[in-house]
Amino acid sequence: MKERMNSQTDAADDDADRALAEEGRAVRDFIKSNRSNTLLCLFDFLLQQSLEGRRPKETDIAEQVFQESHEWANSQGSRVRVGVHRLRKKLDLYYADKPGARIVIPQGEYGLLLKSSDDLDDDEEAPPAEADTGTRRKIGLWVAAVALVLGNVTLAGLYFKDRMGFGDNTVRSTLWRGFDTKVPTKIVVGDYFMFLSKDDGSDVYHPTQDLSIYNADGFYARVSGETGSTDRFMEGNPYTVSVDTLAAASDLWPILTRYKPQPVTASDVNAEIMKSSNIIYVGALDALSPLIGNPLFQASQFRCADTCYELVDKKSGRHFLSASPYLLGDQIIPRHDYGYIASFPGPSGKRILVISGTGDAGVRQMVGLAMDPRRLQQLSRRIGGDFSSFEALFQVRTMFSQNYQSSLLIAHPINTAKVWDKTNPMNWHPAPPFIP
């Protein structure tokens, strides 16, 4: 009996290995098509180790994949961690529109597992206490900041309802239909990447936010291409949310509380969130997750130019360039920005609402629009009354992040019928460097 059980276990293990190897070949072709040799080497190494029943350490990966000495690997584990982070993002991208089993890298270890759709559903129902530590810290800080800004959500809701004209009328607006407590709702805030750098001749590292680098992939690409670079990853949470984006999301909070939203940053959006949740994105276009931005801009009338501070009308070629302070020289005060708002169905039919803009002023103006029943009625007439799939562009009069008034430029329904059936590549441009 014992021998039979052992043989059955061995057969099951062999089947699992064959399934992992077969799925691994398909994923490998996808990674290879993206011309990322380092990620391909990392995936191959982890796949081979997993098929052999091993779970490698950071130092093993650093030596075998990144060709680093043992001593250097011990002190530079962050390079391995960011490589694994990039690989997780690549897996999310591959499986974004694919149902069924998928390869995952479990949190807290370096290896590959093939999980069935049932296992993935169980993971989605896991209690929050089992979530990734970095994500918990990020969400905790965000919630604390929101509480700090609003003080008391209930009192703030009553205050805003009396003074700004939103409340039940806004919630009943068709813009907000589709968001309810029956389906989890994520409020996603745009975030930016930070790292540690030091000046020439100095031994002191200090946090740096280079707006030309908006995620770990960009940082890794820059450091890999620069010989002798001393920049380092920040331990723990390398992402930040701008004060203006946080304030904009906080302004929406009295409306959103009835939907019991869960805050998450754009860098943490993954395939599971896209599948299981309604999504409300608040933030600048340059911080929008590619998992949301790629399908949206495939259906959109617009595309990003060299940066997402500038939108281009695909049909007419007309350019809409934000007068953001990051694009201006000294003694020039910005006077206009662009607000962008759109809605479209997610890959599993959930609702995705993008409240955004080419700069912070545009974002704040679109948040104001989303809370104003009168302006929503005007927009509804322009798009034919259907808020489920539409986009609108506004010009905003501004001075830095302060906005004063806006005018509607373009508004129309968008055809998203086949947006999730396409896998067309697109360039996702980061913001330009900050010019002090």
> How do residues 326-356 score in pLDDT, each as one tens digit?
544 555 555 788 999 999 999 988 999 999 9
What's the rounded Cα separation, in Å, for the pair 281 and 263?
10
Q: Is residue 397 part of a domain?
A: yes
Q: Residue 217: which of 87, 86, 62 has the closest Cα? A: 86
Q: Is residue 436 part of a domain?
A: no
pLDDT in tens, 276-292: 999 999 999 988 988 89
Residue whose entry in the numeric block shows the structure tokens 């999310």: 92
Whether residues 399 and 275 share a domain: the answer is yes
In sequence order, the 6+-apart residues with CB closer than 8 A to the CB of 414 are: 299, 300, 301, 342, 344, 389, 390, 391
Q: Residue 117: which of 105, 104, 100 has the closest Cα? A: 100
- The domain boundary residue, chosen from 103, 126, 149: 126
Q: What is the DSSP letter of 175?
A: G
Whether residues 155 and 209 share a domain: the answer is no
pLDDT of residue 277: 94
What's the rounded Cα separation, in Å, for the pair 405 and 332?
20
- The domain boundary residue, chosen from 239, 268, 300: 239
pLDDT of residue 128: 42
Whether residues 211 and 317 share a domain: the answer is no
Whether residues 58 and 9 share a domain: the answer is yes
pLDDT in tens, 190-222: 987 777 777 666 667 777 766 566 666 777 776
261 by Cβ neighbours in 10 Å (0-12 / 13-18 / 19+) ranks as buried
83 close to 39: Cβ distance less than 8 angstroms: yes
Q: Is residue 428 part of a domain?
A: no
Domain hosting 120: range is 2-126
Q: Residue 83: which of 96, 73, 98 has the closest Cα? A: 73
Whether residues 234 and 255 share a domain: the answer is no
What's the rounded Cα separation, in Å, for the pair 103 and 51?
13
Q: Is residue 339 part of a domain?
A: yes
179 by Cβ neighbours in 10 Å (0-12 / 13-18 / 19+) ranks as buried
112 close to 50: Cβ distance less than 8 angstroms: yes
Q: Is residue 427 part of a domain?
A: no
Q: Which residues of the chain have pLDDT under 50?
A: 1-2, 4-5, 8, 71-77, 124-167, 327-328, 426-436
Helices 77-95/37-51 angle, 10° precision: 90
pLDDT of residue 149: 40
Whether residues 348 and 404 share a domain: the answer is yes
- The domain boundary residue, chosen from 107, 126, 145: 126
Q: Is residue 6 part of a domain?
A: yes
280 close to 353: Cβ distance less than 8 angstroms: yes
Whether residues 302 and 248 share a domain: the answer is yes
Whether residues 63 and 94 share a domain: the answer is yes
In sequence order, the 6+-apart residues with CB closer than 8 A to the CB of 122 are: none
DSSP bridge partners of 354: 281, 342
Whether residues 105 and 120 share a domain: the answer is yes
Whether residues 250 and 348 share a domain: the answer is yes
**What is the number of domains present in the chain?**
3
Q: Is residue 433 part of a domain?
A: no
Q: Tell me phi and psi for residue 70, to 5 degrees.
A: -60, -40
pLDDT of residue 226: 61
Three-state DSSP class for residue 355? strand
Three-state DSSP class for residue 264? strand
Q: Is residue 15 part of a domain?
A: yes
CA distances from 71 to 60, 365, 415 (A): 12, 52, 55
Whether residues 30 and 147 share a domain: the answer is no
Q: Residue 327: which of 222, 402, 400, 396 has the closest Cα? A: 400
Whether residues 413 and 265 share a domain: the answer is yes
